[in-house]
Amino acid sequence: MSAASSPSPRVVIATRESRLALWQAEHVKALLETRLGWQVGLLGMTTLGDQILDRSLSKVGGKGLFVKELETALLDGRADLAVHSLKDVPMDLPAGFALACVLEREDPRDALVSNHFASLDALPPGAVVGTSSLRRLVLLKALRPDLKIEPLRGNLDTRLRKLDEGQYQAIVLAAAGLKRLGLASRIRCAFDPAEMLPAAGQGALGIEVRADRQDLLDALATLAHQPTWLAVTAERTVSRAMGGSCSMPLAAFIREPQQGDEMTLQAAWGEPGADGQGVAGQPLVRAEHRAPVRSFADAEALGERVAASLRAGGAVWAANAPQP
């Protein structure tokens, strides 16, 4: 470097301290160092979502509890950017924050993890399956109404430990997290999206910054994977249009472009039921539309169209809806 050259920018990434969150932060750190030549540090934090483990997220404020402390660190200058699993990020960011980019998606599917059973069909009648996701609950109940769904909180390693201790006969996790931590061997089967539709943004990482950091917005835009960003924008628009909660019984997933820039967006909505165990025999509300997606406006229009079809089919989110 010549004497006239500017020193490499130094930035700090705010991250949760779970093993998966640290992997994600280290992944982004490596990208920033290799592609942009930046010096990067990490600021590990414990969020409220990590601390509250005795209640389901839908009862205590949703998945936004995983990002609030990280946003505070951005606001007060302790950190410059935050790395999130996009499915944990609220549909509308608070004023003053922006999504700088979305990285290429990992496997978006849900995975069945079990020590004794190779598939959902192989589980015995009344088997106990762990998940605290309303989406997974209603989709599992649609496939197997006999299953007993029990809450499952904690980071990925904690969830696997609870399975290994025998508290559940199977648990359902995101395939992306298992693969990122080198735990793909724990996956007994990955659900076809046709039967177990993923959550909006599942498998994708997003980088959040303060909205006034134009320097970061410009630089980080070069890391964006545009097909993934357009796809998750369409998916997240469905969630926003249905009420904006990360904890709704909603699935939304857009497949890879099939012909040119055309994308097919599928969504499903279920009813968790008064007992938090789903309503046996009650059909899911499903919607599907296909359209060319060349811009964020196109993606949002497709998401709005699918949400309108869900509402027309009877999907309604009430603030006092029964929750497990």
At 154 the three-state DSSP class reads coil
* CA separation for the pair 265, 240 (Å, rounded): 15
User: Would residue 88 show up in a list of annotated catalytic residues for this protein?
Assistant: yes
Phi, psi of 95 (to 5 degrees): -55, 135
Same domain for 100 and 213?
Answer: yes
Same domain for 220 and 185?
Answer: no
Contact (CB, 8 A) for 169 and 116? yes
Domain assignment present for 270: yes
Neighbours of 117 (CB within 10 A): 17
Question: Is the pLDDT reported for residue 213 higher than 90?
Answer: yes
Residues 50, 88, 107, 110: which is the catalytic one? Answer: 88
Domain assignment present for 197: no
Same domain for 98 and 207?
Answer: yes
* CA separation for the pair 47, 89 (Å, rounded): 13
Same domain for 130 and 97?
Answer: no
Same domain for 70 and 141?
Answer: no
- pLDDT cut 90: percent of the chain above it: 73
Phi, psi of 39 (to 5 degrees): -95, 130
Same domain for 248 and 280?
Answer: yes
Inter-CA distances, 316 with 95, 274, 313, Å: 27, 15, 9
Q: What does the pLDDT read at residue 68?
A: 83
What are the pLDDT digits (tens) for 109-133?
Answer: 999 999 999 999 999 999 999 998 9
Same domain for 81 and 220?
Answer: yes
Phi, psi of 202 (to 5 degrees): -60, 135
- In CATH, what number is assigned to the domain containing residue 81? 3.40.190.10
The domain containing residue 133 runs over which residues? 110-190
* CA separation for the pair 232, 297 (Å, rounded): 13
**Structure confidence at residue 9 as a pLDDT band (50, 70, 90):** confident
Same domain for 3 and 91?
Answer: yes
Q: How many domains does the chain have?
A: 3
Question: Is the pLDDT reported for residue 178 higher than 50?
Answer: yes
Question: Apex CA 101: angle with CA 19 and CA 46, to 5°?
Answer: 30
Domain assignment present for 145: yes
Question: Is the pLDDT reported for residue 324 higher than 70?
Answer: no
Q: Which of 108-112, 149-153, 195-199, 276-280 has the lowest average pLDDT?
A: 276-280
Same domain for 1 and 92?
Answer: yes
pTM to 2 decimal places = 0.88
**Structure confidence at residue 55 as a pLDDT band (50, 70, 90):** very low
Q: Give Cβ neighbours of residue 324 (< 8 Å, ≥ 6 apart).
A: 56, 58, 132, 134, 137, 149, 151, 272, 276, 277
Of residues 317 and 96, more confidently modeled: 96
Structure tokens at 97: 């924050």
What are the pLDDT digits (tens) for 150-162?
Answer: 999 888 999 999 9
Q: Please provide the DSSP assignment of 70-107 as one string.
A: HHHHHHTTS-SEEEEEGGGS-SSPPTTEEEEEEPPP--
Under DSSP, the state recorded for 271 is -
For the segment 181-201, the average pLDDT, to the nearest whole number, is 96
Same domain for 209 and 92?
Answer: yes
Same domain for 21 and 92?
Answer: yes
Q: What does the pLDDT read at residue 47?
A: 61
Question: Is the pLDDT reported for residue 6 higher than 90?
Answer: no
Same domain for 82 and 115?
Answer: no
Domain assignment present for 196: no
